[in-house]
Amino acid sequence: MASYIKETETEIVLTHPRDSSTSVRILKYGATILSWKVKGQEQLWLSEKAILDGSKAVRGGIPLVFPVFGKSEGHETSQLPQHGFARNSVWEFLGQVESDPLTVQFGLGPENISETARCQWPHDFTLIFTVSLPSEDSLSTSLEVENTDKQPWEFNVLFHTYFRIPDITQTHVEGLTGTQVTDKVSKTNYAGNEAKITIAGEVDRVYSSPSTPDSVAIVSGSKTLFNVQNLQNLKDVVVWNPWTEKANGLADFSPKDGFKNMICVETGSVSKYQTVAPGAKWSASQTLKSHL
């Protein structure tokens, strides 16, 4: 294996071939990206009390949501835990698939999930999660979903990205005008026409577009911190920040004022279920670009 890919029993670390200060660290449990550094600076928020031993989903980084977002009462996924089983299962490291850009893959199938999850969602499937470093300041992730069953089935997908930011009160999100908003805090639905989405309390919203957004920006003051771009098959964007009360109620959220330095901007397909036919594949991807 190339010297810029390091594997341990529990993790994979990629270092950019042209810049050793750019790296990404991936936990095999959940295929969860724990760290993404650009010029040596951390770009993702990870709770100081994040549990990395496989006993529960990781609080922070980029957890993978599949085959359900949240809980879906009355649907065949309703017995599954919140956000499904992908983030709670140990993925197989499939190795390097490209050198330029440096790219690795992880795989998950029925043989990798718990018996409980298998009983709760008894479908045959293959997931391939791809992580690459296309440049010194960007990170790309993609997920391929294949139905290896004899019947069609439905699913949600989400990249649950926790971005690290300097100050939530000075941060806003751009690029989500012309959307329909499902606000889970106020329990309302409305047209998303805000050019700048600011955060001044608990936020838990799904912004749904008729087509995939070109780019979503996370901005601090007048400076763009991140672009979420090159989106494929990801028409929904979740914006989440727990704020004070919710953060205090999350045992693995630390420090308790950590909400001031994070914002989740999560691309996915969650407002409606995707259906994949037997033998068919569906894929989605995103690129995160940092502006240091």
Both structure tokens of 201? 């309390």
At residue 72, the pLDDT reads 81
Of the residues 16, 83, 123, 266, only one is catalytic, namely 266
Q: How big is the chain by its Cα radius of gyration, in Å?
A: 18
Both structure tokens of 32? 């969860």
- Is pLDDT above 90 for 260? yes
CATH (residue range 5-290): 2.70.98.10
- Is pLDDT above 80 for 144? yes
Does 92 participate in catalysis according to the annotation? no
At residue 71, the pLDDT reads 84
Q: Where are the alpha helices (DSSP H) in the chain?
A: 115-120, 243-249
At residue 2, the pLDDT reads 63
CA distances for 83 relative to 61, 72, 159, angstroms: 15, 10, 11
Residue 274 marked in a binding site: no
Query: How far is 76 from 83, CA to CA, in rounded Å?
Result: 14
Mean pLDDT of 131-153: 98
Residue 18 marked in a binding site: no
- Is pLDDT above 80 for 1? no
Mean pLDDT of 243-272: 98
Beta-carbon count within 10 A of 288 CB: 26
pLDDT digits 0-9 by tens, 93-106: 999 999 999 999 99
Higher per-residue pLDDT: 211 or 196: 196
* Residue whose C-alpha is closest to residue 276's, from 155, 100, 191: 155
At residue 292, the pLDDT reads 83
At residue 3, the pLDDT reads 87
pLDDT digits 0-9 by tens, 37-82: 999 999 999 999 999 999 999 999 999 999 999 888 889 999 999 9
At residue 89, the pLDDT reads 98
Q: Which residues, in sequence order, are CB contacts of 111 under 8 Å at separation 6+? A: none
* Residue whose C-alpha is closest to residue 61's, from 84, 42, 44, 78: 44
At residue 183, the pLDDT reads 98
Does 266 participate in catalysis according to the annotation? yes
Residue 118 marked in a binding site: no
Residue type, 151: Q
- Is pLDDT above 80 for 223? yes
Angle (CA) 235-269-274 rounded to 5° is 115
Of the residues 75, 154, 160, 172, only one is catalytic, namely 160
Query: How far is 168 from 154, CA to CA, in rounded Å?
Result: 35
Mean pLDDT of 124-130: 99
pLDDT digits 0-9 by tens, 117-126: 999 999 999 9
At residue 74, the pLDDT reads 86
Centroid of chain to Cα 162: 8
At residue 73, the pLDDT reads 85
